[in-house]
Chains A and B, each alone.
Chain A
Amino acid sequence: MKFKVRGIDTFASTGGRPFDKNKPLIIFVHGSGLSHMVWVLQTRYFAFRGYSVLAVDLPGHGLSSGESLKTIEEMGNWVGDVIGAVGCKEASLVGHSQGCLVTMECVAQHPEKIKTLTLMGGASAIPMNPELLKLAEESNPKAVDLMMDFAHGPAGHFGGHPVPGLYHLNVGSMIVQNKEIKDTLGVDFRACDNYKNGPEVAKKLDLPTLSILGAQDRMCRLKDGKILADYIKGSEVKIIEDCGHMMLLEEADQTLEILKKFIAEHYPLPS
């Protein structure tokens, strides 16, 4: 659905169900250069099980208007504004990759609004390879190829998409190339590279938190994901074997099962 956030047209997938502000809200936040489309194998499930779902397109991404936000702090604040913009008071957040930094910042800035936090493929800092950053800022398609290479685990490189007929690397590549690379991926990579508050923000989090990590993740390595989880008081950690950075697609079923249990325990539907 389209709605306004700070006066700008914003798109979010509602998982195929009409949005209902009276249902518990889960907001999904995508990673660098991506869009709501990466969440389809998680969002539809919750949307048809009593939750309201918003897989947002960050400003300038996917089907949202405006320009990409330049810092993780701004993005985190923007996600907090989304909650009020759709008439809700609180939400659970799910972030992937850069979306982990964004959702952590959102919790830090709007602690009263956020009930649970799920971090997929996260780390407390995501410093960028300088060559990759330069390519993305120059809109060089090679940046997307490199990103797809790093983002998928060894198994994902062969294929085996959970949805019959889809091919991992090319789907991801086309989602990113839907927009001018420098305006989305380039801005996002720079924002990740500049963000240094991760450890301090993580240490202050005080809400039910789950980290889902890929054992073969080359974008945010397993050890970095574990370090982030160690910073967060009481964080649960689930590791998916033989999986890269794109666990939400590479191992969508396992990811969904882990998320279902966490949400059911910490953010249940009203009885």
Chain B
Amino acid sequence: MDPKTYKFDTLSLHAGYQPSKNAGSRQVPIYQTTSYMFDDVDHAAALFNLERGGHIYSRMSNPTVQVLEERVCALEGGTAALATASGMSAIFLTIMTLCNAGDHMVVSSQLYGGTVNLFRLTLPKFGIKTTFVKPRDTEGFKKAIQPNTKGIFGELVGNPGNELMNMPEVSNIAKEAGIPLIIDSTYQTPYLCRPFEHGADLVVHSLTKWMSGNGSSMAGILVEGGTFDWMQNDKFPTMTEPYEGYHGLSFAEEFGPTAFTMMARAEGMRDMGPCLAPQNAWNILHGLETLSLRMEKHCSNALKMVEYLSNHESVAWVSHASAPGHPDKELAEKILPKGTGSMIAFGIKGGKEAGAAFINNVKLASHLANVGDARTLVIHPASATHSQMDEATLKFAGLSHDMIRLSVGLEDFEDIVNDFEDGFRAAKKPRLVANK
């Protein structure tokens, strides 16, 4: 006897949506509205006081966005989800729900540059401090925990250097300390890894990337695993003690495995308002329908690209967890058995000048500040995504000036290679290119 619940590919097409409640519309409708009619005064009061479910105002929730939230939640194996205007707002909302002024976070050092700046520069303005730890330094995460630490945050596969955090072991450290582990799983999508199965308590995504795949819309999401017991200690009073904003409601007591998301929506969306536009939610839903198919092709193209780059005379080094000799290969095989994603970092011989010439001379690959598009993308992190870091921070984050970040797309592999050959040819004589 086995449960007949829907599997991943079915959920990516159907989860969160019932046509019978939407005029039979097979496609998810776009509810382009700010607000929702109340039945009467009692109904309005009940909605505002979280006595019943439903929509009030699209800053808090919207029916189209709700489908996206449930769908991602189902794919991740979570209990609740909250979509936001971008991946960064999902992270900010998560930290602002978790922490108060005077609190502390332990954070992996290898992150998207914007996330580094959030923890390093912006959150201290709110009295939240961070200790950064290199992703492979598992013991370092333990040592960095202080009495006021409220969580551990990291990208499973760090951006842009592709170093893996040992999620199961770091999860044990977090559990021992009674704090949640938060994983930014943008690079993996739930197709490659479901972090709740490896000990994460909260997951965030930039949905702008592979989840959408079409590069059309900004979006982010927070997903709750329902695994963390907020009442196990006195570290999270805003979750466990009566909350004045809802007549003394204790989120942990009332909502248990969905408490964090309920709090993030009720307080965070109410007060900060980084809501996702319904049109953007609809665009992301379109992408999700083909997530499995796209991720398979992304990964297979990436594997071929690793082999091509590893054997190329113009390439000094290649970093991808599938690459021979990668220090995290064994860990990757354990927690990313379907593939290690389509992000590759490589060093080009000739350093910064050669890198610039390469990027200026590829035509098929797009030079832009995004990853996870269906199209192949390249960028030179030290001069773009991570340019606001000083030399010491760049070094600590594992960035070098010869590094090119590559997001392998779905094009015919041979066409990508032909394009890269043009780039490498130009990189061999960067001065000539620069003088053009």
Stretch of A86-94, A155-163, A184-192, A227-235 at the chain-chain interface = A155-163
Instruction: State whether B70 touches A161 (Cβ < 8 A).
Output: yes
Which residues of B lie under 8 Å from residue A40 when comparing CB positions?
254-255
> B49 contacts which of A18, A48, A148 (Cβ < 8 Å)?
A48
Tell whether A195 is near chain B: CB-to-CB under 8 Å.
no
Which residues of A lie under 8 Å from residue B14 when comparing CB positions?
158
A16-B248, A160-B70 given as contacts; is B16 within 8 A of A170 (CB)? no
**Cα-based distance from A35 to B258 in the complex (angstroms):** 14
Instruction: State whether A158 touches B55 (Cβ < 8 A).
Output: no
Question: A133 to chain B: closest CB distance in Å?
Answer: 11
A158-B18, A160-B16, A165-B81 given as contacts; is B52 within 8 A of A253 (CB)? yes
Instruction: State whether B256 touches A165 (Cβ < 8 A).
Output: no
Interface residue range, chain A: 35 or more
In chain B, positions 1-46 with a C-beta closer than 8 Å to chain A are 1-6, 14-18, 20-21, 45-46
Instruction: State whether B253 touches A63 (Cβ < 8 A).
Output: yes
A45-B46, A170-B77 given as contacts; is B256 within 8 A of A178 (CB)? yes
Instruction: State whether B73 touches A165 (Cβ < 8 A).
Output: yes
Question: A31 to chain B: closest CB distance in Å?
Answer: 15
**Cα-based distance from A145 to B50 in the complex (angstroms):** 28
Which residues of A lie under 8 Å from residue B16 when comparing CB positions?
158-160, 167
Instruction: State whether B70 touches A167 (Cβ < 8 A).
Output: yes
As a 0/1 sequence over residues 55 to 82 of chain B, the CB contacts with chain A under 8 angstroms (1 = contact) are: 1000011100111011101100111111
Instruction: State whether A16 touches B249 (Cβ < 8 A).
Output: yes
Instruction: State whether A162 touches B52 (Cβ < 8 A).
Output: yes
Interface residue range, chain B: 35 or more
Which residues of A lie under 8 Å from residue B327 when comparing CB positions?
none
Tell whether B147 is near chain A: CB-to-CB under 8 Å.
no
Instruction: State whether B3 touches A148 (Cβ < 8 A).
Output: yes
Tell whether B325 is near chain A: CB-to-CB under 8 Å.
no
In chain B, positions 232-255 with a C-beta closer than 8 Å to chain A are 246-250, 253-255
Instruction: State whether B261 touches A165 (Cβ < 8 A).
Output: yes
Tell whether B257 is near chain A: CB-to-CB under 8 Å.
yes
Q: List 16 A-B contacts (CB under 8 A).
A: A16-B49, A16-B247, A37-B254, A45-B46, A48-B46, A131-B1, A145-B3, A145-B5, A149-B3, A160-B17, A167-B81, A170-B74, A174-B225, A174-B256, A178-B257, A253-B54
Given A159-B71, A164-B69, list of 13 further CB < 8 A pairs? Answer: A16-B254, A41-B51, A41-B53, A48-B45, A48-B51, A129-B1, A157-B5, A159-B17, A160-B18, A160-B21, A166-B80, A171-B80, A175-B256
Q: Which residues of A contact B (CB under 8 A)?
A: 13, 16-18, 35, 37, 40-41, 44-45, 48, 62-63, 129, 131-132, 142, 145-146, 148-149, 155, 157-167, 169-171, 174-175, 178, 242, 252-253, 256
